[in-house]
Structures are given as structure tokens and as C-alpha cells.
Amino acid sequence: MTTALLVAVVLLTLLTLFNLIVVLGVVRRVRSYEQRLGGVAEAAPVLSTPVGERVAEFTASTVDDRKVSRDALNGTTLFGFFSPDCSACHERLGDFRATAARYDGDAYAVVVRDGGDLEPVLRGLGGTAVVLEEPGGPLAQAFGVRGFPAFVTVREEGVVESTGYLVPALT
């Protein structure tokens, strides 16, 4: 009986040590992945001209023939850049429309005609000032847009106040 008990204790001790070694190996591997990928997950993508820089000169017209240019900006202006082929853009149309309706300054939705169906995008932006342009058009170029959706607020003098891929929250 004593021998069996001793064998059981030794086996359980060995099993516990083996389990401890495996767990420590897994923890070490997870930490190495965190170090390699940690910076990637934390960095916000830069989709347009950085905050604090001035956007380039631009002139464009909305679908209802209102002129928009850097020199004509009045107060802080919200710009949203959308592509019909972008699923994230479709998800944020309602948020942009609601924010634009409550926004104190002007708000413009810039839709880039890159081959997708424009109708659902225009319907989702109903009631918002919309500028249609080709890829690399004047607004996308002036704002340095490199991905969609992109949301930018610009002060009256054309300096970028905020930028990102989420519709800015109103404060």
C-alpha cells in the first residue's frame, strides 16, 4: 500500500511538473507574439493628411451645384470620404448622415466613383451635401486620402483638426 501511494505521488508530481513546463512555454510564446504584433494592433491607420497640417488647395462642386473650396471653408468643416466598393463605408453611412445633421459647421460626403454601385451610397447619405469625384479627384488628392472610409475635420484656415476611420463624436 505504501509503495502504491509513493508511486502515485511521484507520478502526480511528474505530471504537475510537465504541466508547469508546458504552461510556461505557452506563456513565453504568447509574450513573443505580443512583442512582435503589439505595435501593429495599437497603431491607428493614417488615412489622410495628418492632424495639424494644412490641406492642399481644392475646388469641387456638390451634386446640387454648391461650390466647395479650401478658401471658402467657414468654421470647422466635416468631410467624409467613401467608396461604393468598401463594406466599412456602407456600415458608417448612417453614422455620418446623423452626425452631419447635428454638426454645427458644414459637412460634405465625398464619394469616389471607383466602379461600385453609387445608388446605395447616395441613398445612405440622403440629406447630406455630396461631392462625386473620380479616383484621385481634387478633394481626395488635397486631403491625401489613402483609404476608405476616412473622416476629417478641418478648421476654417484649412488645418486638419482630426482624422480617422470612425465618424468623429460630437462634443
CATH number of 111's domain = 3.40.30.10
Residue 44: predicted pLDDT: 56
| CA atoms of 133 and 130, how far apart (whole Å) | 10
For residue 51, being part of any structural domain is answered with no
In this structure, are 88 and 140 located in the same domain? yes
Tell me the β-bridge partners of 4: none
| CA atoms of 139 and 97, how far apart (whole Å) | 19
| CA atoms of 58 and 63, how far apart (whole Å) | 16
Pull the grid cell for residue 137.
479627384
In this structure, are 39 and 115 located in the same domain? no
In this structure, are 34 and 65 located in the same domain? no
Q: How many CA atoms lie within 13 A of 105 on its CB side?
A: 16
Residue 70: predicted pLDDT: 93
Q: Look at the chain and report how many structural domains it folds into.
A: 2
For residue 169, being part of any structural domain is answered with no
Q: Is the distance from CB of 73 to CB of 55 less than 8 angstroms?
A: no
In this structure, are 76 and 116 located in the same domain? yes
Cα Rg, the chain, nearest whole Å: 27
**Model-wide pTM > 0.75:** no
In this structure, are 73 and 33 located in the same domain? no
For residue 48, being part of any structural domain is answered with no
For residue 54, being part of any structural domain is answered with no
For residue 171, being part of any structural domain is answered with no
Pull the grid cell for residue 73.
471653408
In this structure, are 89 and 35 located in the same domain? no
Residue 169: predicted pLDDT: 76
For residue 53, being part of any structural domain is answered with no
- Which of 140, 114, 168, 111 has the alpha carbon at shortest distance from 49? 140
In this structure, are 28 and 94 located in the same domain? no
Residue 41: predicted pLDDT: 47
Q: Is the distance from CB of 68 to CB of 81 less than 8 angstroms?
A: no
Domain interval for residue 160 = 59-164
Residue 45: predicted pLDDT: 61
CB count within 10 Å of CB 118 equals 16
In this structure, are 145 and 112 located in the same domain? yes
In this structure, are 78 and 113 located in the same domain? yes
In this structure, are 137 and 66 located in the same domain? yes
For residue 78, being part of any structural domain is answered with yes
Q: For the chain, which residues score pLDDT lower than 70?
A: 38-46, 170-171
Residue 78: predicted pLDDT: 96
